[in-house]
Amino acid sequence: MILVVDCVGYIGSHLVKELVEKEQVIVLDNLSTGHRNLVDERAVFVQGDLGNRTDLDAIFEKYPIQAVMHFAANSLVGESVVNPLKYYQNNVAATLTLLETMLKYNVKNFIFSSTAATYGIPNVELITEDCPTNPINPYGRSKLMIEQILADFASAYGLNYVVLRYFNAAGAHESGEIGEDHNPETHLIPIVLQHLLGQRDKISVFGTDYNTPDGTCIRDYIHVTDLAKAHILALEALLTGKKKTAIYNLGNGLGYSVKEVIETCEKVTGRKAVIEYTDRRPGDPARLVASSQKIYEELGWKAEYSLEQIIESAWKWHQWKGSKWSSRSW
């Protein structure tokens, strides 16, 4: 069986939906930020806490766990700056408890959900895994700490692991049943689509004077289902012994500016956005685009969804969600 930690969040729920087609899955979540209805009914759901040894012992004693896929983390950059204790407790200390429990029960395969924030502000066109890691906030530092801990555990205890550094996850499952639903919402594509549905008055664009073709920031967007498929390939690589340790970027390798994303949202929806141009936000790099050549060469993975397809899937889900809540209000 495969244990998925934080299964009701955005990426974890999409992973479980794909993984249950191939493996027996048990999922652990405390439901603090996610939604129970997002968990595929074919998975065994356990409500509990990642940092609670009793909860973890109960799972590892009852189920024959072969590998752990770890998605649980607080991930708001701004919050991490004003409340770093929360991030080091939840993202680092709780993960150490999980890793200690795995060693106790001789479970040696671990997939870790990391982030492009580990790179900080690299001054390169395409970010490879060899670029220096220099995170600029506690969120990024908490993720990098776990990466370093995994390397030490591999050397000392024989832990096998794959680290997956995400760039900008977006989109929704093709079924339309699950999608991106954060509170508060901080990601560009859902913010634009919420606005185009009439749920926000306007969109704020932070900075128009970056050294980019149209002056707005450029980011790498990757469909959440592409992410899920990369996790499954990484899991197979560990379970078959093809890989012992690895770090991979997950992105499209294509950069789209904020203006390009808004324009594509307008094209997909047939609606026009109201845009407010304002000052830059501190710490926003002009360009963050991944090279995912390494995982393509080693595991055969590459992103399949275009930006337009990502937005089309998200729009389908946001429309469904909007109509669902509208019907509830009457």
Superfamily of chain region 2-170+221-250: NAD(P)-binding Rossmann-like Domain (3.40.50.720)
Spatial separation of the C-alpha atoms in residues 153 and 96, rounded to whole Å: 10
Report phi then psi at 197, rounded to 5.
-90, -5
Instruction: Please give the sequence-ordered ranges of beta strands (E in DSSP) within 141-286, or none if there are none.
Output: 160-166, 168-170, 203-206, 218-219, 221-223, 245-250, 256-257, 275-278
Enumerate the domain spans of the chain: 2-170+221-250, 188-219+253-328
- What's the burial of 73, exposed, middle or buried (CB within 10 Å: 0-12/13-18/19+)? buried
> What pLDDT was estimated at residue 186?
76
Say which amino acid occupies 73: A
Indicate the CATH number of 188-219+253-328 among 3.90.25.10, 3.40.50.2300, 3.90.1660.10, 3.40.50.150. Answer: 3.90.25.10
> What pLDDT was estimated at residue 325?
44
Report phi then psi at 91, rounded to 5.
-90, -30
Residue 38 neighbours by CB under 8 Å, 6+ apart: 7, 8, 13, 178
Over residues 3-35, the pLDDT tens digits come to: 999 766 778 888 898 899 999 999 998 876 666
Low-confidence stretches of the chain (pLDDT < 70) are 7-8, 32-38, 175-184, 321-330
Identify the bridge partners of residue 249 per DSSP, sorted by sequence position: 165
- Known catalytic residues are 139
Q: Which two tokens stand for residue 243?
A: 């890989």
Say which amino acid occupies 257: S
What sections of 88-137 are H helices per DSSP?
Answer: 94-104
Spatial separation of the C-alpha atoms in residues 161 and 109, rounded to whole Å: 6
Residue 31 neighbours by CB under 8 Å, 6+ apart: 8, 47
pTM (2 d.p.): 0.91
Identify the bridge partners of residue 111 per DSSP, sorted by sequence position: 69, 162
Identify the bridge partners of residue 155 per DSSP, sorted by sequence position: none
